[in-house]
Amino acid sequence: MSATSHAGAAPKRTQVAIVGGGPAGLLLALLLHRAGIDCVVLERRSRDYVLSRIRAGVLEQGTTDLLRSAGVGGRMDREGLVHDGFDIAWRGDTLHIDLRELSGGKTVMVYGQTEVTHDLYDALDAAGVPVVHEAEDVRPQGLETAEPFVTYRTKEHGERRIDCDFVAGCDGFHGVCRTAIPRDRIETFERVYPFGWLGVLTRKPPIQEELVYAHHTRGFALCSLRNPQLSRYYIQCSVSDKVEDWPDSRFYDELEARLPDRIAANLQRGESVEKSIAPLRSFVAEPMRYGRLFLAGDAAHIVPPTGAKGLNLAVSDIYYLSRALTAHYGERDGRLLEGYSGDALARVWKAERFSWWFTSMIHRFEDDGSFGQRIQEAEFDFLAGSKAAQTALAENYVGLPF
C-alpha cells in the first residue's frame, strides 16, 4: 500500500509520530522504516503543495552520503550537478574558491530540495509508510509522560489520535511542536537581518556552471541554478518591497548592475516561472528536546540562505535523531537520545556562525556606514590573500562532519 493511499488515515498507535512532511520528516520516516521502527508522518498541507515549494538546491557532502545510505541517491547521482567550487565577485573581479582542493577532495551537489522530496516520497510509497496529508489541528500532548500522543483531524475522518513512544517535531519554524514546549523550558536566540532576498526562477541556462556570490555597493546578488536549463537568481532587496514592485525587466537590470561585466555578459533573460521575497534571520531554540518530543530542522533553527545550510542542517539533525532512535529500539541504549540535543546543537551553532559570517561579509548593510564598508573590504582582502582563510570557508561550505 502506498503512502498516498494513507491520506487522511493512520494507525492508532505507532512508535514515532513525525509531525511535518517536508524533507526532514520524510527522511526520518524512511530511515526509521529501514531500521524496523514504526512511524507515521502528519503533514498539514497536501502532497501537491509540498512538492510545489521552491527551496534550496546545494547539498553538502554529508547530506548526499546520507541520502545514498537511505537508498534515495540514485536519481540525485544521475541528474545532480557536482560542483568543485564557486566564485565571489567583488570590485568588478572574482575570487575563485576551489572547494575540492581546499577541503581535501570534498564537493557539493546542486540538486533541488523539491527533487529530494520527490525521491523521498517515492521511497515511502514503495515501503508503504503512512503519510497523512491535510492533517489539521495537530497537537502533541503528554510529552513529559511515558505515553505521549498526537491528536489531529482530517476532513474525511474527523478527529483522530495516535499514541506513540516519541514525537519528532519536523514541522518548520511556524509549526506547532516548538510552541508545545512551555516557555520556561526553552530559550531562543535570534538575529533578524534588515533586508530580504528577491528570488527568480527562470527556464534559461545558468550564467555559468558554478555559483557566483556578488558583493556590490547596490547590494548582494547570487547566480545559482537547479539544472542546466533552470536558473535561480537572487538580489538583496528591502524587507518592505513587494514582488509586484519587481517586474522581470527591473530585476534583470539590477542583477546585471551588481555583477562583473564579463559575467553579466552571459546572462540570458527569461520570463520568471517563480518569484518571491524571503526575509533573512538567524534563529536557534534550545534545547532541542522536551520530554518525549524532539525538534529537528527549521522547527529548531533557521539560518540565512547565504551559506546554503538550511536543508543540510535539517539532514544532520535527522542523522543524529535516527541514530539515537535506532540505538534506543535496537540496542535498548538510550544514551544517544539523551545526548541528541547537545550533539545536534554543537553542529547547529557552527553552521549559524558560518552563515552569519558569510552574510555579514557579502551583503550591503546601510546602517553600518563607511566604517562597516571598510571592515567588509578588509575582510575580503584578508580572504583573498590567505589560503588558510579560504580553507576555512571551503570546509564550512562543503559541510562540517556529522
d(CA 309, CA 100): 18
Cell numbers given for 142: 503528554
Distance CA 25, CA 33 (A): 12
What does the alpha-carbon distance between residue 373 and residue 217 come to, in Å, rounded to a whole number? 9
Q: What residue type is assigned to position 39 of the chain?
A: C
Query: 221: closest CA among 259, 271, 269, 270?
Result: 259
- Which amino acid is present at 146? A
Cα–Cα distances in Å, from 333 out to 196, 293, 397?
Answer: 45, 18, 34
Give just the sign of the alpha carbon dihedral 300, 306, 312, 316. negative
Question: Residues 6 or more apart from 59 whose CB is under 8 A from it?
Answer: 67, 76, 80, 108, 109, 110, 111, 116, 311, 312
- Give strand pairing partners of 214: 89, 221
Question: Active site includes 213?
Answer: yes
**Catalytic residue among 111, 121, 213, 252, which?**
213
The active-site residue, picked from 130, 148, 206, 305, is: 305
The full DSSP string for 151-198 is EEEETTTEEEEEE-SEEEE-S-TTSSTGGGS-GGG-EEEEEEEEEEEE
* Set 193, 290, 320, 397: catalytic member: 397
CA angle (46, 248, 95) in 5-degree steps: 95
Question: Which one from 6, 106, 309, 363 is the annotated catalytic residue?
Answer: 309
Catalytic-role residue among 6, 83, 133, 216 = 83
| Catalytic (active site) residue 121 | no
Helix H or strand E encompassing 226? strand 221-227
CA distance 148 to 345: 24
In whole angstroms, how far apart are CA 372 and each of 36, 303, 359?
Answer: 54, 22, 13
C-alpha torsion 125→40→20→72, nearest 10: -40
Residue 12 appears among annotated catalytic residues: no
**Per this entry, what is the length of the chain?**
402
Catalytic center residues: 83, 213, 305, 309, 397
